[in-house]
């Protein structure tokens, strides 16, 4: 990728719904895990090894690159599984593997599969880039670097013409949006010590997201930390200084969130797609930033901060254990039929009322995450303003639904 090309926007895919949401909303690439050997083994459904051809088949027609995350600690008993998984990914034409363990890197290189290095390797300087350039074409930098440090690395890659195995200059990737861990680039052992459940094996119990009381063991004095969850950082958001991020010389901007819902993937991907395009069109402005931040606030988030990119030394901590999103979804019902000629979807209302004017979300493995407003509706074949539990409701839709697609109503949180 040369400086004249747009940066690559990478989106997360925890399941087929999120994968389709990423594809539909402008991702240039997607990353995903298969079964247990990835850093979100516990947090999301994950794909099976048999899903690999289907993932590639969805991505290839749209020229979207697909990345298999295989970035956990690997033990001897995992090696045969890793080998099988890499061979299957290569055969399915998955674009690259994101790895941190040297065994995975070596196995991937042995079969000619492109390697991207995970943030778990904590790459922080140009000499480390040179060392790993023998093995990898793309490297994710440590999350603790400032943009000034990132820019120095990208400039040195250009100056010294440091190339990866493909013969192209090494590409630099950084995280642009999503959850941050209190530990250095995700290397945390709290969950292992407290629950024998290793974060570095993708099974984090998220001890850091809880509220604690600190006790002085000498005096017995207790202090309740009621203002902040001091180990739970706010979510990273780089949108309001995205121009500086792009100017740092990176090639790939990564959205975190394989454990989050498809509407999160859809909204965040769409927002960053618009912002990146706006930068290259010369229309990036404070007014647009305000609108984009409002959109990001509607989906799951713990509040936003700039990470360490602008030189901040200390983290900004969450004031609540969960999301502070301005909107939430409530389940309404499921799809029962699609009338193709009329472009009408039929839904069985099972829980929550909906009415004309409501903002709704429809999700499904092939549908992705589609958000729209109800203009008109029919209930039990009669034009109506409202549908309630037990009704069959039909809506005019600009896309096809499938059986058992889920229908939600979007409400203010």
Q: How confident is the model at residue 46 (pLDDT cuts 50, 70, 90)?
A: confident
Give residue 2's pLDDT.
Answer: 36
Question: Mean per-residue pLDDT for 298-308?
Answer: 91
pLDDT tens-digit series, residues 107-159: 999 999 999 999 989 999 999 999 999 999 999 999 889 999 999 999 999 99
Three-class SS of residue 241? helix
Q: Are 312 and 303 in contact (CB under 8 A)?
A: no
Q: Which residues pair with 412 in a beta bridge?
A: 327
Look at 231 and 3; give whichever has higher pLDDT. 231
Q: Which two tokens stand for residue 207?
A: 């001890």
Average pLDDT value for the chain:
89
Q: Which two tokens stand for residue 279?
A: 């930068």
**DSSP letters of 336-378?**
EEEETTTTEEEEEE-SS-EETT-EEEEEETTTEEEEEE---EE
d(CA 310, CA 395): 47
Name the one residue in this structure whose structure tokens are 């989906």.
Answer: 299
pTM: 0.87
Task: Give φ, ψ of 269 to 5 degrees.
Answer: -60, -45
Question: Mean per-residue pLDDT for 17-35?
Answer: 96
pLDDT tens-digit series, residues 5-14: 899 999 999 9
Q: Which two tokens stand for residue 115?
A: 């390697």
d(CA 47, CA 365): 12
d(CA 98, CA 138): 9
d(CA 55, CA 33): 11
Measured between alpha carbons, how far is residue 231 from residues 154, 196, 200, 202 in Å?
31, 19, 18, 19
Comparing C-alpha atoms, which of 49, 405, 67 is closest to residue 262? 405
Other Cβ atoms closer than 10 A to 398: 7
Q: Are 234 and 302 in contact (CB under 8 A)?
A: yes
Q: Is 18 exposed, middle or buried (0-12, 13-18, 19+ CB in 10 A)?
A: buried
122: Cα separation from own chain's centroid: 20
């Amino acid at each position: 990728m040369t400086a004249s090309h747009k940066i690559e926007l990478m989106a997360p895919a925890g399941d087929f719904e999120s994968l389709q949401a990423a594809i539909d909303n402008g991702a240039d690439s997607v990353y995903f895990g298969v079964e247990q050997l990835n850093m979100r083994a516990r947090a999301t459904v994950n794909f099976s090894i048999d899903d690999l051809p289907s993932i590639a088949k969805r991505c290839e027609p749209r020229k979207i690159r697909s990345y298999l995350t295989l970035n956990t600690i690997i033990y001897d008993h995992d090696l045969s599984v890793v080998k099988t998984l890499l061979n299957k990914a290569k055969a399915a034409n998955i674009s690259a593997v994101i790895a941190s363990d040297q065994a995975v890197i070596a196995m991937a290189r042995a079969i000619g599969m492109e390697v991207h290095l995970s943030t778990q390797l904590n790459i922080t300087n140009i000499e480390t880039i040179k060392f790993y350039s023998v093995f990898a074409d793309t490297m994710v930098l440590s999350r603790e670097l400032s943009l000034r440090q990132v820019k120095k690395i990208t400039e040195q890659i250009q100056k010294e013409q440091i190339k990866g195995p493909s013969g192209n200059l090494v590409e630099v990737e950084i995280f642009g949006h999503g959850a941050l861990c209190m530990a250095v680039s995700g290397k945390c052992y709290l969950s292992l010590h407290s629950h024998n459940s290793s974060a570095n094996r993708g099974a984090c119990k998220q001890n850091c997201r809880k509220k604690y009381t600190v006790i002085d063991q000498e005096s017995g004095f207790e202090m309740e930390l009621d203002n902040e969850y001091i180990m739970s950082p706010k979510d990273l958001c780089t949108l309001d200084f995205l121009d500086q991020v792009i100017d740092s010389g990176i090639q790939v901007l990564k959205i975190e969130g394989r454990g989050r819902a498809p509407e999160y993937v859809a909204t965040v991907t769409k927002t960053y797609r618009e912002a990146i395009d706006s930068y290259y069109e010369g229309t990036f402005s404070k007014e647009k930033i305000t609108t984009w931040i409002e959109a990001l606030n509607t989906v799951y988030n713990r509040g936003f901060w700039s990470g360490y990119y602008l030189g901040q030394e200390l983290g900004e901590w969450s004031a609540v254990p969960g999301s502070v999103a301005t909107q939430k979804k409530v389940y309404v019902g499921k799809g029962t039929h699609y009338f193709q000629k009329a472009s009408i979807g039929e839904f069985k209302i099972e829980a929550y009322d909906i009415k004309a004017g409501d903002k709704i979300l429809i999700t499904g493995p092939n549908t992705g995450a589609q958000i729209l407003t109800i203009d008109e509706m029919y209930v039990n074949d009669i034009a109506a303003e409202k549908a309630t539990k037990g009704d069959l409701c039909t809506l005019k839709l600009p896309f096809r639904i499938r059986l058992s697609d889920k229908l939600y109503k979007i409400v203010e949180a």
